[in-house]
Every structure is written in C-alpha cells, then in structure tokens.
Amino acid sequence: MSFREQLKGTGVALVTPFAEDLSVDFDALGKVIDFDIANGVEYLVSLGTTGETPTLSKKEKLDIFNFTHEKVNGRVPIVVGIGGNCTQDIIDTVSSFPLEKAVAVLSASPYYNKPSQEGIYQHYKAIAAASPKPIILYNVPGRTGRNMEAETTIRLAHEKNIIGIKEASNNIAQCIQILRDRPEDFLVVSGDDDLVLPELACGIDGVISVAANCFPKAFSDMVRAGLSNDFAAARKLNNPLIEAYNLLFAENNPAGVKAFLSELGLIKNYLRLPVVPVSEGLEQKIKNYLKK
C-alpha cells in the first residue's frame, strides 16, 4: 500500500494532557487515544505542535511517543512530529529517535528564521536524506512566519523520501496548485479544519486535524463522505461543526481543544506556559455549544 493510501482520511494531531502539577497525564492521553480510534479516525500524529512540543523535554517526548505506540498497539498508523528551526538538530533527532514505531515523520517548516524558498528546500532535502522514515512536509505560515510556496512544495515532492505535505496555509488557491502539479503518489492533506470540506472537493487526500481530538466520529465521517464525493452527506456532517471550528481557534490552539476535551471529561484543562486556558467567556461558549 502506498503512503498516499495508508494516510488517506483523518489523522488526529494529539494533545498532550497534563496533570495539576503539569506532569504528563498518561492516563488521560490513553483515554484520548482510545476515544479517537474507537470513533473511526484513520491514524494518529504524536508530538505535533498541538501536543505543546515546544514545552516538552526530550525525555518527555520519547516517553509520550513510546506510550502512544504501546497504547495504539497496531490499531492505526502513527506519524511522529519532529520539526524545528535548526536543521542539524532535526537530523540528529531523526537519526536517534525510535522511528521504527512510526510510518512517517511530520516536520514543520522552520519558524522564526524566515529562510528563503531555497533555504526551506535545502532544509527538507537534508532531513529527508538523513531520516530512516519518509518525511511529510508541514507548511503553516501563520505559526512559522514564512509561507512555503507551491513551487517549493512541488520541487520537494520529487525528492527521495519526501512523501507528502500537510498544507495549512489557509490558502485554497495554493492548495489547488499543489494538487494540480503533484506527482501521482504525493500525499496532500489539509491542516485547516475549517477548509477541509471545500479542499476535499479540490482533491485533497484528507486532513491532520485538531477538531478530530474531540469530534472524531462526525469529523472523520465527514472526511470519508467527501473522499467518496458524497458532498451532500459531507455538508450535513460539517455544518454543525462550523461553530466548533471557530471556538477551537478563537484564542489559541491547543487551549481551545483542551477546553473541549476537559468538558467531555477526557482530560484536565491544564497547559504549560506561555499558553494559558481559554478565557471564561470562551469557556462558557464551549459549554453552551456542547449542551446543544
């Protein structure tokens, strides 16, 4: 099976639950994993930025990944997030991390440095050459400060060991250009939950989603309907989620999704600084939404 087939559908960008003392709450993480798998998601992404990875130590990242692998126990594929703004550090990490437990590495484009398009290209080319597992590009300019242009993505799509992209530019025109020009076996998934429905109509292969943490069944059913070109069914499933998308990202990710998961009784609503829980006003809106 090709990676494009294996990672089609809905992947969940897992949160990292914390206990009151801000240690990793592995029991809660296990609950989220079981909840998402039981409700039909196709795969999980461990240690993505939704998992608050900038605040995790190297040991915590390894412990979380190993726990996730053991908890999943082969039920769905696991993608692991390994990114950053120091190319050599990422090369060192992918060379030493237990990547035999993952099907691929999701690597966010460098943040803060604001490299040129050539710099982005060379960054990913070097990582792909060093990694024992294939690389999924991750373009999220709202967080990194630099858009990876469609031409750069297509150039990288022809490099060995680069199998796809999570495109979170919030730019459907750019997404369409990538879909038009990609090699046949190149995976394209969305990173913008609110744009998944129209992007499915454009030909994307699925999504790595924040919303699927807390709405795994409705969201993954919507994606499968879109992939089957049943857009009447997909719209029916997506319409009630539109308000949730706005609430999830109104103040911060993952503050929004952690508030939802806390209200659902799956985790405690703790985050590590500099991220803080959502405001009282937004928390009440989330409670009201869930009551509906």
Give the residue numbers annotated as catalytic, written as ranges: 138, 166
CB atoms within 10 A of CB 153: 28
CA 137 from chain center: how many Å? 11
Beta bridge partners of 252: none
For residue 83, count CB atoms less than 10 angstroms from its CB and return exposed for 0-12, middle for 13-18, buried for 19 or more.
buried
In the block, residue with structure tokens 């995790």: 56
In the block, residue with structure tokens 């919303």: 211
The closest of 223, 264, 259, 228 to 241, measured between CA atoms, is 223
Peptide bond into 277 cis (omega under 30): no
3-class SS of residue 44: strand
Provide the token pair at 249.
């990202």
185 close to 162: Cβ distance less than 8 angstroms? no
The closest of 81, 122, 86, 75 to 104, measured between CA atoms, is 81
For residue 126, count CB atoms less than 10 angstroms from its CB and return exposed for 0-12, middle for 13-18, buried for 19 or more.
middle
Taken in order 88, 161, 212, 74, the sign of the CA dihedral is negative
How far is the C-alpha of 3 from the C-alpha of 7, rounded, in Å?
Answer: 6
How far is the C-alpha of 9 from the C-alpha of 36, rounded, in Å?
Answer: 13
